[in-house]
Every structure is written in C-alpha cells, then in structure tokens.
Amino acid sequence: MSKRLVVIGGDAAGGSAASQAKKRRPDLDVVLFERGRATSYSACGIPYWIAGTVERETQLVARTPEQHRAAGLDVRMRTEVVGIDTDEGVVHWRDLETGTEGTEGYDDLVYATGSVPMRPPVEGIDAQGVYGVQVLDDGVALRAELDSGRVQRVVVVGGGYIGLEIAEACRIRGLEVTVVDLSATPVGTFDPDVGAIIAEAVRCEDIELVLSDGVAAIDVGPDGRARAVVTRSGRELPADLVVLGLGVRPNVRLAQEAGIPLGTSGGIAVDQRMRTQVPGVWAAGDCVESVHRLSKQRVVVALGTHANKQGRVAGINIGGGYATFPGVIGTAITKICATEAARTGLSEAEAEAAGYSFVTAAVDSTTKAGYFPGATPIRVKMIAERRSGRLLGAQVVGKEGAAKRVDALAIAIWNEMTVDEVLSLDLSYAPPFAPVWDPVLIAARKAFEAVEADTRS
C-alpha cells in the first residue's frame, strides 16, 4: 500500500518538499494544499512587479499548479487547511471557493505555511486601504488599488527591506510616498552608520522619511477607508493608501492548535533534518526557526533561499534519503532606489548580544578602478573578533556592482575565516570590475590592522 504525504503550503518550502519527496519515491501519494491562487512564486519579486520593472505577475511563478500536477502531485488550490489531528494523522480542509469541507489522512505531513505580515495593535489597522504584502495575492490586490487611479499619497509603515522596496515601487509610479519607522535609521539589521547612507539614498528619491517615530493610529474616514497615519509624536500623514512593511512573523497558529511545539524564537522547533517534535510531522520555510551559526541562537529568517533549501532537505528525508540544514548566518541583500545594500553575519548590536568582543573597520573605495568610466563609491564594513581576528560580520553599500561582493564575505564567515585569511584571498581583478585592491581586501586589511593594534594594547 502506498504512503501518503500531505503538504500544507504550496510556495517555496512546500513545493520543494513535495517535489523532492515525489522524485525519490514515485509511488508516494502527495497532496499539496494551497489557500492562494499561485504556487512556487517569488514573493521577493512582488515590489518589482508593482513598480512595472517586471511586466506580468505570471513571470514571478517558477512552477504552476499544472506543472506540479504533471509531476504527479495532487495540488488543491484555494483550499485552506483549518485543522490538524496529529493523533489520527488527518488534516481538515475547506475549499475557499465553494465552502466544501473534508479531511485527508497522511503518513507524513509537511507544515510549510510561511509567515504573515506583522500588524501593530493600533486603531484603524484593519481598515480598507491598509495592505500587507506577503503573498502574491496581496501583491495583486495592492497593484489593483494602485492601478485604480484614486491613489496619490502612500504611507508605508516600516522602513525594513519590504517597506523600502514598496516605497520605491510607489515612487516609480509617480506617487507621493512617506515612510514611517520607529528606528533612527531604516533597515535596522544594518549598523546605524550604514543605515544613515541608506536613509540618504531614500531621501534622494524624494521619499519622505519619518524616523524615530512609530505609528499610533490609522485615521479612518466615513467611507471606512484609511485616510491618514497618526504617529506617536502626533504627526498626521495624509494617505490614500497605507502599506504595512513592519516585517513578518511565523504563521504557526495551526501548529499551536495541533500541539506541534514551537521554539524559543516563536518559530516551529525542528532538528537539522527538518523534523518537528511530533513523529511524522516536518516543517520548513518562514514558519520554522533555524540556528544562527555565529550567535548559536534560534532565529526565524523569512527568506526564499532558506525556504527552498529547507523544503528540499525535508523532501529528501521523506523520500528515503539523508540531508540536513546546517543553519544560517544572516546574509541579505536589497536594492533601495539607486543604492545596493547587503549584509552577512552579525551586526555590532548582534555581536555584542551574542557575547563577542570585537573590533570594526570600514573603508570607502570604488566599484571599479577609480579611473575607469562608471566607477562609483562603495563602502565595506567588517566586524572581527578581538584577538582571534575571526570575521564575524560584514556590510556593503554602494551603487550598481557593489552589494554582491557580500557573497565572498558570506563564504568567509561560513568557513570561520579570519580577516587575515580574507586579506590573502585570490580575488579577481580587472579595471572594469574592481580596483587592484578590491574593496573587500582593503576592508580586510583595515580590520586586520585593527585586530593587531588591539592585540598590542
């Protein structure tokens, strides 16, 4: 008798898990439930579709339901799992179009429900005209609103990655945009000195930044629509539309109701093979916690890169193979207006919280040889452990061609290299791509000098 795998969630983690398991065990019955209208899509691409950089939302879809079905998966679209009975090995589902309800038994279950936008508990947060942007359906709804012609002023609450990317998308469409954030600089995962550069880049695009000031309420008009954002300092920011860019939290409600244990981070607790503490139940993606390889803390990192890898690991193991997910180091990259920014490892605040004693070094250079046409400024910052010189973190900000340098630094951190070892790396050089001393090498040299000076003191 064939075994049955049920997967809750059809995006990166769920789709990867289902595909890998079916590939390794062709006789496995795989049922995939997806409450939305698309599978295996790039949520990170939504701001670029809203801006018009990407022409059609279908371009964001890596694998359609029809393609999954052609591979042997039983895909149930617009069908929400509303309950899990782990004792009986059954999920309860509801068809969102017809209202039909039913149950599906499983031998193995993959919980891949992703995350949900954070919504602060303030008056007016659930009004019409207030949007979160997490799944493709959210993007479709937001773009339809922007295409309606009745929106001129947009207030984005939250200055993180998604908040600034949506702000830029709205500015490209010719709208008036204001971003409100409680922090003193946007994108709080960067150190304040790098955040200040990002803030200046945003302002240069005529996007108003209201910093060190959170949202207190959303003023709602007689028609039930949001019409202004009121900040904690008392400022009233008129808005035809409000976008929530405060980040996300793991979508774990069903897991909690089913008794699937969470970890200290609030995400589902899993081992390296993506198994939960309930036999036969696996989890992957934005809803699970991972181990940070530097801080050793349990963290939730909502990125498609990790979701795909975790889903792959779960699917391999369910399919009879062996795979592990080794953790994260916090690598992230974004393009904010004309400026690229990337980070990996620990920030200063994170390094201090993890108990490290460290030195820092930051250098300003150019993306190409200084004399070569198109050379633009780039700043590279490194954080190194005192005495040992181990690279703990790095941040890169600059124009086109700057930020992907962070990948070399991510590899160095992953392999526990010292800044002296980074300094000696055989990196490529040609004037159209880098100065003879690449900015990464210059920063490593400065960091090594800081380590040496600290050792002598």
**143 and 211 co-located in one domain:** yes
What's the confidence (pLDDT) of residue 337?
81
**37 and 13 co-located in one domain:** yes
How confident is the prediction for the chain on average, in pLDDT? 95
Specify which residues 179 forms β-bridges with: 156, 209
What's the confidence (pLDDT) of residue 49?
92
Q: What is the C-alpha to C-alpha distance for residues 349 and 138, in angstroms, rounded to an integer?
A: 33
In a domain? residue 382? yes
In a domain? residue 135? yes
**205 and 107 co-located in one domain:** no
In a domain? residue 348? yes
Alpha helices, H only, 204-280: 253-258
Q: What is the C-alpha to C-alpha distance for residues 396 and 41, in angstroms, rounded to an integer?
A: 28
**234 and 254 co-located in one domain:** no
**240 and 257 co-located in one domain:** no
pLDDT digits (tens, 9 = 90+) for 72-103: 999 999 999 999 999 999 999 999 999 999 99
In a domain? residue 228? yes
In a domain? residue 83? yes
Among candidate residues 224, 246, 268, the one where a domain is terminated: 246
Rounded to 5°, angle at Cα 383 from 380 and 384 = 130
DSSP 3-state of 114: coil
**188 and 167 co-located in one domain:** yes
Which residues neighbour 49 within 8 Å (Cβ) at sequence distance 6 or greater? Answer: 55, 56, 57, 59, 60, 139, 143
pLDDT exceeds cutoff 90 at 25: yes
Among candidate residues 246, 265, 286, the one where a domain is terminated: 246
Tell me, yes or no, if 337 is annotated catalytic.
no
**112 and 146 co-located in one domain:** no
CATH number at residue 379: 3.30.390.30
Catalytic residue among 44, 204, 287, 337: 44
**283 and 368 co-located in one domain:** no
**421 and 356 co-located in one domain:** yes
**223 and 241 co-located in one domain:** yes
Q: What is the C-alpha to C-alpha distance for residues 316 and 273, in angstroms, rounded to an integer?
A: 9
**219 and 310 co-located in one domain:** no
Burial (Cβ within 10 Å: 0-12, 13-18, ≥19) of residue 448: buried
Residue-number span of the structural domain to which 75 is assigned: 4-43+59-116+249-318
CATH number at residue 306: 3.50.50.60
In a domain? residue 306? yes
Crossing angle for the helix pair 12-24 and 304-318, nearest 10 degrees? 30
Number of domains forming the structure of the chain = 3
**297 and 376 co-located in one domain:** no
Average pLDDT over residues 151-168: 94
Q: Which residues of 216-247 are buried (b: 16+ CB within 10 A; e: fewer)?
A: bbbbbeeeebbbbbbbeeeeebebbbbbbbbe
Among candidate residues 246, 279, 296, the one where a domain is terminated: 246
pLDDT band at 120 (very low <50, low <70, confident <90, very high): confident
pLDDT digits (tens, 9 = 90+) for 182-227: 999 999 999 999 999 999 999 988 999 999 999 999 999 999 999 9
Element (H, E) at 70: helix 65-70
Which long-range contacts (C-beta less than 8 Å, at least 24 apart) are formed by 259-266? 259/86, 260/84, 260/86, 260/111, 262/289, 263/289, 263/298, 264/289, 264/298, 265/289, 265/297, 265/298, 265/299, 265/300, 266/300
The structure tokens 């080794």 sit at 326
Average pLDDT over residues 37-57: 91
pLDDT digits (tens, 9 = 90+) for 372-418: 999 999 999 999 999 999 999 999 999 988 899 999 999 999 999 99
With pLDDT > 90 as the criterion, what percentage of the chain qualifies? 91
pLDDT exceeds cutoff 90 at 454: no
Q: How far is CA 256 from CA 87, 89, 262, 269, 278, in A?
A: 14, 16, 8, 11, 12
pLDDT band at 1 (very low <50, low <70, confident <90, very high): low
In a domain? residue 48? no
In a domain? residue 333? no
Please give the single-letter amino acid code of residue 346. L
